[in-house]
Copies of this chain bind each other. A is one copy, B any other.
Amino acid sequence: MRVLGVDPGLTRCGVGVVEGVAGRPLTMCGVGVVRTPVEADLGQRLVAIEQGIEQWLDEHQPEFVAVERVFSQHNVRTVMGTAQASAVAMLCAARRGIPVALHTPSEVKAAVTGSGRADKAQVGAMVTRLLRLGAPPKPADAADALALAICHIWRAPAQNRLQQAVALHASKGRTA
C-alpha cells in the first residue's frame, strides 16, 4: 500500500509518501514541502497548492491520501488557512477517485510514538527510525506528513472498512 500523507498549511504544506503494510518494514518513497508565498493573494496560493499536490499524485500514484484533520482550538487565522489548504488536497485526491482519510494529530502521534501527546522531536525521531532514514526530515511539516502516511498504513484495515461502509451508504442514497 502506497500512501501520500499531507500536513496541510498555506505557507508550508508537508507531503510524504510511504509504502508498506502493517507489520513489515516501511519504505519512504519521497518527502517534501509545497510552499506558497505569503504575499500572494489567497486564490493564487490555493492554485499553487493544487499544482504542488497534483505533481506529487502524478509522480507517486498513491492508493490513499491521508490528511491531517483540522481542529479549531489553535490560532483562528491559521486554522482558516489550514482548512483551505486541506480542502485543496482532499479535492485533488477525490477528483482522481483516491480515497481520502483524515487522522487527528493525536492519532498520528499515538500511532508512531505510542503517546498522543508526544512532541515534534519525538515524532521526528520515530519517523526517522521507522523509515530507516539518516536524519529526521526537515522541516517538521515534512516529518508530520510521513507520520500521517505511516499512521494510515497501520490504521488502514479499520479505516478501509469504514470508507467502504460510507461509500455503500452514499451509493444506496443515490439509487433510493
Contacts and interface: CB of A to CB of B under 8 A. Distances in A.
A46 B173 contact: no
A44 B87 CA distance: 11
A170 B72 contact: no
A167 B44 CA distance: 10
A91 B169 contact: no
B88 A39 contact: no
Interface stretch (A55-63, A78-86, A114-122, A123-131): A78-86
A25 to B, nearest CB: 30
A126 to B, nearest CB: 28
A26 interface: no
A72 B76 contact: yes
Interface stretch (A13-21, A92-100, A105-113, A138-146): A92-100
Nearest to A70: B80
A100 B47 CA distance: 12
B80 A43 contact: no
B170 A41 contact: yes
A41 B100 contact: yes
A136 to B, nearest CB: 30
Interface of A: 37, 39-44, 46-47, 50, 70, 72, 76, 79-80, 83-88, 90-91, 93-95, 99-100, 102, 163, 166-167, 169-170, 173-174
Given A43-B100, A88-B91, 10 more contacts: A40-B170, A41-B94, A41-B166, A42-B100, A43-B93, A46-B87, A46-B91, A79-B83, A84-B90, A87-B88
Q: Closest 3 interchain pairs by CB?
A: A43-B94, A84-B87, A83-B83
